[in-house]
Amino acid sequence: MTAAIDLVNDLEARAGASDKDRELWLLERMGGVTATEIRDLFLRKTTVQQLVDLKLGRRVDSFGGNQYTAWGNTREPVLADVVQSIYPELRPESRVFHAADDSRRLASPDGVGVVCGVLVVSEIKTGKDDIRVGTPAYVSKGYGIQQQWVMRVTGARRSLYVSEQHDSDWQDRGGAYPEPAPMGLVPVMEWVEFEEALVRELDVIATGFLVAMDAAAHGEVVAYDDDLDTLAVNILRFREEESSAKKAKEQAWKQLQESLRAQHDELSQESPLARITWRAAGTADVVGEPLVEVDEASLRADHPDVAREYDDANAAVEAALNRAHTAEGAYRELAEKYTTTTPGETRQVSTKESLTVTSVKTKEMKA
């Protein structure tokens, strides 16, 4: 119980403005980088420069809402009540929170609480598409990215993702905008776990943006090609995934071997997806290489003249080699006295392309 209270108290100490005071809430979010902005940078829905210009007031966001955002705002408190009826500890939340290690890393979770001794957050989404975890719409909209950033900022390690699909039949139902109708009686609720590797990527993006914003605020220009930077970041991401995949493959291979050793001496099976051929370790008769030996004593006894001629020839060859080595040494020693060096002629040669991509090591950013 004490640990849970400590988690809540720590998070409360990092709470900022509520969206009930929207002007103050927006102003506080302008000072850092939020989950929505990290998502848009990650998915290339915006560029670093565009976001810097927005933060520094060089560009104005004219979007003031539409029927889709209005519907989301209408449904969010309703769905939050459903969540709290199932998870009483997970209370609705409207404030912006700051990360413990950097107050400019920001997030606004839809709910916060301690469930089974673990700090958790919630994210509520509505839409005309199936936006459950793992669906194409969920991935393309970056809802998983947003949740990872919210967990990184708050310190939570689980996020309750609440999604509701509507019928897209927009009708005048007495509100400021036309409204659709929910397709289900209750929303879909799914737990999303914290992904450390992905969050490291998001941290790199956040740091790069904050550095660019600071530089721009001081009149400095951090010039780089956004498109090339995106490709480089993708390489780093895929490299991390490749490393994880290699470890997973090695673990699966080891588990397969252990299962086969325990159950089969020999196996051959084929499914629609995979073919396995296995033979356990053991012993087998192997014919070695033939051993060839010459009875040299008998050969010399039976053919002394041939043996003598062979020995004399070998001795002559060895003596000739020794004389050649001596002469070569004397020649090289004299050659040094007659050697001159002329600079080589400059000519064009082909060179290979060179490309390296490494992650940038950045210092921890201060609040």
User: What's the token pair of residue 44?
Assistant: 């290339």
What's the rounded Cα separation, in Å, for the pair 292 and 132?
A: 74
What's the rounded Cα separation, in Å, for the pair 109 and 106?
A: 10
Count other Cβ atoms within 10 Å, centred on residue 332: 9
6-25 pLDDT, tens digit per residue, is 888 899 999 999 988 888 98
Counting residues of the chain whose pLDDT is more than 70, the rounded percentage is 94
What's the rounded Cα separation, in Å, for the pair 332 and 338?
A: 10
User: What's the token pair of residue 57?
Assistant: 């007031």
**C-alpha distances out from residue 156 to 86, 183, 269, 291, Å:** 19, 31, 45, 71
In a 3-state reduction of DSSP, which class is residue 78? helix
197-221 pLDDT, tens digit per residue, is 999 999 999 999 999 999 988 887 6
User: Please, what is the Cα angle at 96 between 115 and 216, to 5 degrees?
Assistant: 135
Q: What is the mean pLDDT of the chain?
A: 88
What's the rounded Cα separation, in Å, for the pair 120 and 143?
A: 16
42-97 pLDDT, tens digit per residue, is 998 888 888 999 988 887 776 667 888 888 888 999 999 999 999 999 999 999 99
What's the rounded Cα separation, in Å, for the pair 107 and 32?
A: 10
In a 3-state reduction of DSSP, which class is residue 98? strand
113-157 pLDDT, tens digit per residue, is 999 889 999 999 999 999 999 999 999 999 999 999 999 999 999
Residue 338 CB contacts under 8 Å (≥ 6 apart), including other chains: none
32-50 pLDDT, tens digit per residue, is 999 999 999 999 888 888 8
273-305 pLDDT, tens digit per residue, is 788 899 999 888 889 889 999 998 999 999 999
Residue 121 CB contacts under 8 Å (≥ 6 apart), including other chains: 93, 109, 110, 111, 112, 147, 150, 151, 154, 156, 158, 159, 160
pLDDT at 4 over 80: no
Total residue count of the chain as it appears in this document: 367
257-275 pLDDT, tens digit per residue, is 998 899 999 989 888 778 8
